[in-house]
Homo-oligomer: A and B are copies of this chain.
Amino acid sequence: MSEAGPPAGTGRRERKKLATRAALREAALRLAARHGVERVTVEQLAAEADIAVRTFFNYFSSREEALVATLAAGAEALIAEFRARPPAESVLTALREAALRVLRAGDLAGEEQVQALRLIVRAPSLEPQRLAVFAAQERALAAAIAERVPAAAGTLYPALCAATALTAMRLVLDEWLDDAAASRASLRKSLDEVMAELAAGLDRPGGPVDP
């Protein structure tokens, strides 16, 4: 974790590995768009990235992991942006701003990318791996929250907030992608709403006693 030694990303080896990984990520989206998520095989992925099938498994432990790799990259970027927010911001505000930055600057650049993500998110066979992506970032986010709110370190709050906030953001993204004609503005609106609800408290009284 320390920054000792030669800076990461230098060296031919590291660069080649990063490039191969990125090529596989993009190949996965391309092939999913072309043939459908279910019909993408490891053989095709390897061929598209021009590596051996055996080598594919040096980069991803399963076909599904490659298909959700772009989501994983986005989730990691979210945590990084969150850590970069001014420490005075409240937790949920920082998360909201971080999400907006990732969406603006990030992988959701073109309509083409959005379309590809739609495929990934809607594929039922990918749901387990897709959820695992967010769960993996829960731990990292919980650690970051514990740093931001020192008073809460050691309590359940960091883990709880990380898990629920990520879940809420997943929900917003899912619903937004479900709506073919949804605008960028509507995404921001939903995000604001959801974060406000989390901040204000989720409980609600029941309905009429005799419905």
Contacts and interface: CB of A to CB of B under 8 A. Distances in A.
The winner among A93, A94, A132, A199 for most chain B CB atoms within 10 A is: A132
30 contacts: A64-B128, A87-B209, A87-B211, A88-B205, A88-B209, A90-B203, A90-B204, A92-B203, A127-B132, A128-B128, A128-B131, A131-B131, A131-B132, A131-B135, A147-B207, A148-B206, A148-B207, A149-B205, A149-B207, A150-B207, A150-B211, A157-B197, A157-B204, A159-B175, A160-B202, A163-B168, A164-B167, A198-B202, A199-B201, A200-B201
A203 B135 CA distance: 20
A89 B131 contact: no
Interface string A77-106: 000000000111111111000000000000
Contacts of A89: 206
Interface of A is mostly: helix
A87 B167 contact: no
A204 B159 contact: no
B206 A88 contact: yes
Contact of A194 (B156, B170, B205): B156
B198 A164 contact: yes
A92 to B, nearest CB: 4
Interface string A122-143: 0000011101100100000000
A161 interface: yes
Interface in A144-182: 147-152, 156-157, 159-161, 163-165, 167-168, 170-172, 175
A193 interface: yes
A7 interface: no
A20 interface: no
